[in-house]
Amino acid sequence: MKLTRRSFLTAVGLAPLIPQPEPQAIIVGTGYGAAVAAKRLGEKGIKTLMLEMGQSWDQKGPDGKVFCDMLHPDRRSMWFKDRTEAPLETLLWLDVVNRDIERYAGVLDKVHYPNMSVYVGRGVGGGSLVNGGMAVTPKREYFEKILPQVDADEMYGTYFPLANKNLRVNTIDRTFFETTEYYHFARVSRAHAGRAGKKTTFVPNVYDFEHMRKETLGEAPRSATAGEVIYGNNHGKASLDQTYLRDALATGNVTILPLHRVTRIQPGYRLTVEQIDTDGKVLRTKEFSCRYLFLGAGSLGTTELLVRARETGDLDLNEHIGQGWGPNGNVMTARAVPTGFRQSTIPVLAIDDWDNGVFAEIAPMPAGIETLTALYLAITDNPERAGFRYDRNTNTVTLDWTSEQSRPAVQKAKALFDELNRSNLTTYRYDLFGNNKAFSDDFTYHPLGGCVLGRATDEFGRVRGQQNLYVTDGSLIAGSVGANPFVTITALAERNLARILTEDLNR
């Protein structure tokens, strides 16, 4: 083999900066906002490169499956952890929920900050690989409150319907819901809510409910009915690799590089990128350049890159970068109630008490046994927001959320579930979240904000003070959206891209 400079430097692992051919646009990340940008740029004929730090989840493991399930987690479950970190710590105070695993580029990450941990998806498809698929269009009144600068008529008339269509959102057949044992748990919570005078509402999803119905009849491969969700679904779910990203790739103008982590953004734009292997080893450091840069690395990823760029002097950015972050008021709680041992992992019903600031999804707890658990993930109207801080010594970015800031969320959730317990003579479960807590208020599935629309960026996601630099993900939304966020992130990205493509890329 002829030893070129490049192969020599690569072989000796010196991680040199290797210049790459230049695409017109680069997108960092492959989650919702990024996938919308890729489809729209690709359709416009713009050569686009997507850089994703996680894997492309298209290879089967030794068990013949791409993803592992929640009851038998292996190294595929989590992003470089020694042990799984499921939202429940224990069951009956017993350490039976989590397992030791090999460190590996798994699909679910839990990022830890001092008083708040954030779950995020890692891989081509971002959060769509691990989420519950709940596809909720927020209440218009609340949307108008949190995003006043966005034309709500246009969103509700055009972009929410467009996002729902492209994401393949569907709703459960009511007869199936009322009769299948897999939703007994949801019917129980509905009855209990009713006794407390609270209403429930069906929630659409991107999981194909016809596939699920066939699963229950043994006519389709099982996924939702086989304990698969937060570590990935092998079947049934229309994750982004099957929708927006597939469309983007079909244009022939979009390329995706998995296991490529962007670490630095310099003017031009020049990106420093580490290519890693599935053991986390840095194989090489590359440099990419582009004219148009779209940041879709999620609320944490995008904010971290821009805070670091500002604080190290790489980019001239305003003081709003790194501000306006919130956990969408997430609080998890559970009540001691028989809910059945067969449970679909896909939530379809929520207690809608938004008049009192709570929208609580009725969550499953599929354990294969009766655990006497009615589990809920409550989205609450918590007005608290936090900022990110750069630490020069470690070159890391950390979140300044305090535990007191979770209090308004817990108070609102507690008011609702105290009512449910009173009306049904039931109690909370204290054995699930550690420290005998009935409410888990120190993690979120829904990180939002950090580069808020109209402050860090203009009204369409153009980063203020920069040319051709765009934010296209959940960091645009200031900390709360009153519902599960991905439909809003998708619709907002569609709206922003439509404007950016006409005004900026026609130049």
Residue numbers at the binding site for ligand FAE (CB under 6 A): 28-34, 51-54, 119-123, 126-127, 130-134, 230, 261-262, 296-299, 301, 305, 445-446, 473-474, 484-486, 489
Tokens 């083999």 belong to 1
Q: Under 8 Å CB-to-CB from 163, ≥6 apart: which residues?
A: 487, 490, 491, 494
Q: 498 in helix, strand or coil?
A: helix
Least CB distance to ligand FAE at residue 29 (A): 3
Nearby residues of 373 by Cβ (< 8 Å), 6 or more positions away: 334, 335, 336, 337, 339, 365, 429, 432
Q: How far is the CB of 428 from ligand FAE (least distance, A)?
A: 22
Residues 446, 459, 494, 503: which is the catalytic one?
446
**Euclidean distance between the first and final Cα of the chain, in Å?**
46
> What's the rounded Cα separation, in Å, for the pair 399 and 357?
25
Q: How far apart are CA 58 and CA 229, in angstroms?
A: 16
Closest CA to 198 of 376, 397, 22, 29: 376
Closer to ligand FAE at the Cβ: 133 or 387? 133
What 3-state DSSP class applies to 87? coil
CB-wise, 106 or 126, nearer to ligand FAE? Answer: 126
Q: Tokens for 437?
A: 């807590």
Point out the catalytic residue in the list 215, 228, 361, 494.
361
Q: How far apart are CA 477 and CA 366, in angstroms?
A: 32
Identity of the residue, 136 or 421, whose beta carbon is nearer to ligand FAE in the bound complex: 136
Q: Which is nearer to ligand FAE, 28 or 349 (CB)?
A: 28
Within 10 A of 191 (CB to CB), how many other CB atoms are there?
11
Of 421 and 461, the one with the shorter C-beta distance to ligand FAE is 461
Residue type, 318: N
Is 235 designated active site?
A: no
Rounded-to-integer distance, Cα 338 and Cα 336, Å: 7
Angle at 122 between CA 407 and CA 231, to 5 degrees: 80
Q: How far is the CB of 296 from ligand FAE (least distance, A)?
A: 5
Rounded Cα distance between 490 and 429, Å, is 36
Q: Indicate the residue among 259 and 421 with the shorter CB distance to ligand FAE.
A: 259
Is residue 141 within 8 A of residue 133, CB to CB? The reply is no
Rounded least distance, CB 464 to ligand FAE, Å: 20
Catalytic, 89? Answer no
356 phi and psi, to 5 degrees? -105, 15
In this structure, how many other beta carbons lie within 10 angstroms of the beta carbon of residue 507? Answer: 5
φ and ψ at 101, to 5 degrees? -135, 165
| Residue 149 beta carbon to ligand FAE: minimum distance, rounded to whole angstroms | 19
- What SS3 class is residue 79? strand
Least spacing, CB of residue 28 vs ligand FAE, in Å: 5
Query: Which of 225, 424 has the CB closer to ligand FAE?
Result: 225
Q: How far is the CB of 356 from ligand FAE (least distance, A)?
A: 22
- Nearest approach in angstroms of CB 505 to ligand FAE is 20
CB burial string 353-370: b at 16+ within 10 A, e below: bbeebbbbbbbbbbbeee
In angstroms, the CA 498 to CA 503 distance is 9
How many CB atoms neighbour CB 404 within 10 A? Answer: 9
CB 290 within 8 A of CB 22: yes
> Residue 398 Cβ, how far from ligand FAE at the closest point, in Å?
15
**Residue closer to ligand FAE, measured from CB, 39 or 122:** 122
Q: State the Cα–Cα distance between residues 426 and 322, nearest whole angstrom.
A: 42
List the catalytic residues.
361, 446
